[in-house]
Amino acid sequence: MIERRSIALPAVLILAFCGTAYSHTIPDNVTAQVFLRPSRGSLYMLVRIPFDALADTVFPSRADGDLDLPQVDLMLPDAAKTWISDWVDVYEGDSLLPKPRVVETRVSLGSDNSFRSYEDAWAHVTGARLPATVQVYPDRAMFDVLFEYPIRSDRSTFAIHSRLSRLGVTVVTVLRFITSGGPVRTFAYEGDPGLFPLDPGWGQAARRFFLAGMVQILRGFDYLLFVFCAALLFRTRQAEPPAPQPQAQDLLLWRRRFRLRSPIAFAVASSITLIGSAYGLAPDAIWFPVLFETLIGASVAYLALESIVRGGWIPTAAFGLIFGFGFSFALRGTLQFGGSRVLTSVLSYTAGIQLGLCVALAAFILALHLLFQIAPRAERIGTIFLAALVAHTGWHRMLDRAQWLRASQIPWPNLTPGLWVALSLAAASLVYFGSIISSRRVFPRDR
């Protein structure tokens, strides 16, 4: 028994050592460059990825650790299928194209810059290979492949689902589609963006971005908190006791204003900043999204407190302007999938956002109605508890983001004394007119 154990232990250690010696570490950051071009009866795809992204594949090497190029070249076609073409689906119209034929494969030096254009990349991949005497190390090499898909026509509409995110921890794909006689469409995305058309039509762009707008509301925690506060406030106004005459008409006016003017003002204001930001009218500074995320947290806390104290003035339009920027931040990275249909994509996304807000608001109002139907006497206490919980969450989210803003070096403008006076007058005017709206327009007095 002891002899068997003594023999088995070294065998296990040898196997473990061999497994670790030939395993490849998954790279942290990978950039994949892809060209797609339909030409007559074929769709050509040129791909370049770092050579060390071919994990779990052992390639022959020399004594110095550099690649044995003649032996490596024999393994490259299978590696191209295993690591690239098996994970890329291309559609012509609604039909999935068969897996492509591997036309050429190359090992390139890391300093090679032939993938700056489709023509240079084509000439490089179909040209001469590196001499066998050149020293190329895996962590300093590139892997280039030319694939060919059979297609019916180069005028067809094409779509792609690239799942190259498995090549590394963070994978950025730069895909350039050269249309037949048209412009070059460039897509840059991280990870797996799902199936998307390379040259979308009006209907495809509208459908994709309308659904993206609705999903953005359902996935945004801050947005749902804000809508929940609006539902609480709506419920609070509905549950307010009948006011004595002659203020009953005032309360009716407030309810109508809350039901109609507030959502309309929010929708219009958010649409303005969303569309403007989508067309590049907002700064691209790294601190800008965090600033408005901080303001979104503050607006959530403010609206939650309004549900508790039953205040009168709700700056709905200001909230809409703030949230419009918040909606636009998620749109910036996906607007490229709309191709040339920029206006259609932005308007569809805006419509999806507004419909998503309406659906979420209706769902929260219905849920609160069913909840307080069970315990009607505890409605006021329950409203205060829920509003306080949301206010606490919004307040802490605001503080966390504000802390990041304080730590970052934001290039604040140089405020001259005259500009300070102008800003002070503007703030005082805002407070003054806000008090007028709160005291006279929201709850008008009898005359």
Determine the residue type at 203: G
Position 175 scores a pLDDT of 92
Question: ∠ at Cα 326 (404, 161), nearest 5°?
Answer: 105
pLDDT of res. 16: 38
With contact defined as beta carbons under 8 Å apart, do 64 and 188 qualify?
Answer: no
Does position 286 have pLDDT exceeding 90, yes or no? no
Bridge-based pairing of strands 29-39 and 170-178 is: parallel
Q: Specify the pLDDT at position 148.
A: 96
Give the per-residue pLDDT at 436: 46
Whether the CA torsion 144, 147, 153, 159 is positive or negative: it is negative
User: What pLDDT was estimated at residue 2?
Assistant: 41
pLDDT reported for residue 229: 87
pLDDT higher than 70, residue 361:
yes
- The most confident of 264-268, 280-284, 329-333, by mean pLDDT: 264-268
Confidence of residue 295 (pLDDT cuts 50, 70, 90): confident
Read off the pLDDT band of 24 (50, 70, 90).
low
Tokens of 394: 């919004």
CA-closest candidate to residue 328, choices 349, 359, 352: 349
Q: What is the mean pLDDT of residues 15-19?
A: 38
Q: Helix/strand/coil (H, E, C) string of the chain?
A: CHHHHHHHHHHHHHHHHHHHHCCCCCCCEEEEEEEEEEECCEEEEEEEEEHHHCCCCCCCECCCCCECHHHHHHHHHHHHHHHCHHHEEEEECCEECCCCEEEEEEEEECCCCHHHCHHHHHHHHCCCCCCCCCCCCHHHEEEEEEEEEECCCCCCCEEEEECHHHHCCEEEEEEEEECCCCCEEEEEEECCCCCEECCCCHHHHHHHHHHHHHHHHHHCHHHHHHHHHHHHHHHHHHCCCCCCCCCHHHHHHHHHHHHHHHHHHHHHHHHHHHHHHHCCCCCCCCHHHHHHHHHHHHHHHHHHHHHHHCCCCCCHHHHHHHHHHHHHHHHHCCHHHHCCCHHHHHHHHHHHHHHHHHHHHHHHHHHHHHHHHHCHHHHHHHHHHHHHHHHHHHHHHHHHHHHHHHHCCCCCCCCCHHHHHHHHHHHHHHHHHHHHHHHHHHCCCCC
**More confident site: 377 or 297:** 297
Is 336's pLDDT higher than 50?
A: yes
The string of pLDDT tens digits covering residues 192-227 is 888 888 888 788 888 888 988 888 888 888 899 998
- 412 pLDDT band (50/70/90 cuts)? low
Mean pLDDT throughout 373-390?
Answer: 84
Task: Choose between 266 and 171: higher pLDDT.
Answer: 171
pTM above 0.95, yes or no: no
| Higher per-residue confidence, 19 vs 150 | 150
Tell me the C-alpha distance between 383 and 372, whole Å.
9
Q: What is the mean pLDDT of the chain?
A: 79
